[in-house]
Amino acid sequence: MSRSSTDSGARATGRRGTPAGIVVVGNGMAGSRLVSEIRARDRRVALTVFGAEPQQPYNRVLLSNVLAGVTGPEQIGLVDPAWYDANDVDARLGVEVVRVDRDARRVHASDGSVTPYDTLVIATGSTSFVPPIPGTEDGLPGGVVAFRTLADCRRILDAADGARHAVVVGGGLLGIEAARGLAGRGLAVTVVHLAGHLMERQLDQGAGSVLARTLGRLGIRTVLGTSAGALATDGDRRVNAVELESGERLPADVVVMACGVRPEVGLAREAGLKVDRGILVDETLRSLSDPHVRAIGECSQYGDTVYGLVAPAWEQATVLADLLTGADAGARFTGARQITRLKAASVDLVAMGETHFGDDDPEVEVMRFADASRGTYKKVAIRRDRLVGAILLGETSTAGTLTQLYDRSAPLPSDRLSLFFPGMGGVQAADSPVRMPDAATVCHCNNVSKGQIRACWEKGARTADEVARETRASTGCGGCRDALEGIVAWLDEQDSVPVG
């Protein structure tokens, strides 16, 4: 029998002799990845994970697909519950850690248990930010949901059942995903965004305008430069309209709050750890306050940066697993390049690096191509013959090429047009399996190269799904799925070509 069914009681009481190994607080995309990476390296270390959510960990990036109805909740799971028993992991699902006693090295949980640790890893992620809007003083009214978790997704779907009008407050990445998910279910959706254009952190004005036009073709209206002033409700305290600061009143059967997230650092702060926006860590992901505490994912802060994307969190999990198991004592996290991807029906977007450069910086060369009628916008920013930023919206065939150039800070081709249009000037996109070197990274979320995909295929994985299960390629944001399928198809073609 597994540890979770035999000695969880001993662990809970913290009796003398109970093995105090690694305790992970948080079983989301960062925490669950760390647990699986540790077990892949060491099957003996005592390992306990607490997850405040009761279900198996899931891919939060794909929640918008669940909203749209193209993916079922059961299809976005990251770890099968049976895996914990099979791998001797004490999984406390639906149990929240409420206090950390750093002196005694124990964590106190919501079920009354007390668990000792040698190393504590905090991976509590982020929580939704809900601004103080009139109408929310006594909590969110019926039909209003802050979109962050699978439970939130289910609440939105319940509210959307039979609804006609939806309002999404917030036009960042999460808001756009929620809007297209609801529009996919036939609702009339309006996105309300305070900034002057959508996704202002990742996109410039031109790209934001093209994105708004693309969403309009999907039946999603965009209202910019204003915010929700109040939520109007009926006698049952159920939302029926959103009153904007501009004075406009929007009918609403469903309101999704997507106003951003904040690192969940309450537990760390109460434990006396050093916290800025996130828990401050060094390049070994160790807390600057306590050598026995580490932090990864959205709740951690390395230098001045809190990483809000999945790829850096999974990179941190790999580094920390190497360190905690001794697989690589020299492993270090020294920062990550952030690449934002949004792939939905009629909305395909990749943004990386510094995207807001204009023509007023003499040290930066900026190239743009826009075709708003087709929903296409392309931009690259170049400094000293190196790519420092890029946006591809609507047509992303050169995304692989740009990502590799950006990741490696490699010299650019002399024909700059090839960065926008593959094949021009004799330069083909690195996405093409023929031209792509084995060292090229295909899946940036999981750091999977073309060579690893080829090796997996040569070992017998003959479909994209089989390769994905073995390598994890395409299981993050899903943006590389087309590239993965293309490589597998190309390998199949090469295998079928007769010798001579």
Rounded to two decimals, what is the model's pTM? 0.86
Give the pLDDT band of residue 267 (cuts 50, 70, 90). Answer: very high
110 and 210: one domain?
no
**Measured distance CA(381)–CA(399) in Å, rounded:** 14
> Averaging pLDDT over each range in 9-18, 366-375, 465-474, which range is the top one?
366-375
274 and 176: one domain?
no
- Whichever domain contains 111, its CATH number is 3.50.50.60
Mean pLDDT of the chain: 88
pLDDT over 50 (residue 59)? yes
321 and 405: one domain?
no
410 and 441: one domain?
no
154 and 242: one domain?
yes
How far out from the chain centre does Cα 87 lie? 26
Region 232-252 average pLDDT:
95
pLDDT over 80 (residue 438)? no
Per-residue pLDDT, 305: 95
471 and 484: one domain?
yes
Per-residue pLDDT, 28: 95
**Measured distance CA(366)–CA(375) in Å, rounded:** 20
Q: Is position 339 within any domain?
A: no
Give tens-digit pLDDT for 107-142: 999 999 999 999 999 999 999 999 999 988 889 999
Q: Is position 133 within any domain?
A: no
pLDDT over 70 (residue 430)? no
151 and 255: one domain?
yes
Give tens-digit pLDDT for 14-52: 333 345 799 999 999 999 999 999 999 999 999 999 999
Q: Is position 332 within any domain?
A: no
Mark which of 429, 453, 476 sits at the end of a domain.
429
Residue 129 CB: number of other CB atoms within 10 A? Answer: 14
Give the pLDDT band of residue 194 (cuts 50, 70, 90). Answer: very high
Q: Is position 335 within any domain?
A: no
**415: containing domain:** 354-429
Give the pLDDT band of residue 453 (cuts 50, 70, 90). Answer: confident
pLDDT over 90 (residue 191)? yes
**Two tokens at 295?**
């932090």
106 and 32: one domain?
yes
Q: Is position 333 within any domain?
A: no
Q: Is position 134 within any domain?
A: no
281 and 249: one domain?
no
Per-residue pLDDT, 423: 61
* Count of domains forming the chain: 4
Give tens-digit pLDDT for 397-426: 888 889 889 988 889 988 888 899 876 544
What 3-state DSSP class applies to 389? Answer: strand
Q: Is position 337 within any domain?
A: no
pLDDT over 50 (residue 8)? no
Mark which of 429, 455, 475 sits at the end of a domain.
429
Percent of the chain surpassing pLDDT 70: 91
Give the pLDDT band of residue 485 (cuts 50, 70, 90). Answer: confident
> How many residues are recorded in the chain?
500
- Whichever domain contains 397, its CATH number is 3.30.390
Give tens-digit pLDDT for 344-396: 667 889 999 999 988 788 889 999 999 998 999 999 999 999 999 999 999 98
Query: Among the listed ranges 241-245, 250-254, 326-330, 458-462, which one has the minimum average pLDDT value?
Result: 458-462
Give tens-digit pLDDT for 270-324: 999 999 999 999 999 999 999 999 999 999 999 999 998 899 999 999 999 999 9
Mark which of 429, 461, 485 sits at the end of a domain.
429
Q: What CA–CA distances, in Å, run from 197 to 189, 201, 209, 224, 394?
A: 17, 10, 7, 6, 17
**Measured distance CA(112)–CA(97) in Å, rounded:** 10
pLDDT over 80 (residue 10)? no
160 and 76: one domain?
no
Give tens-digit pLDDT for 162-174: 999 999 999 999 9
240 and 295: one domain?
no
Q: What CA–CA distances, in Å, run from 247 to 39, 166, 192, 226?
A: 56, 18, 13, 9
471 and 422: one domain?
no
- Whichever domain contains 439, its CATH number is 1.10.10.1100
**Measured distance CA(225)–CA(191) in Å, rounded:** 11
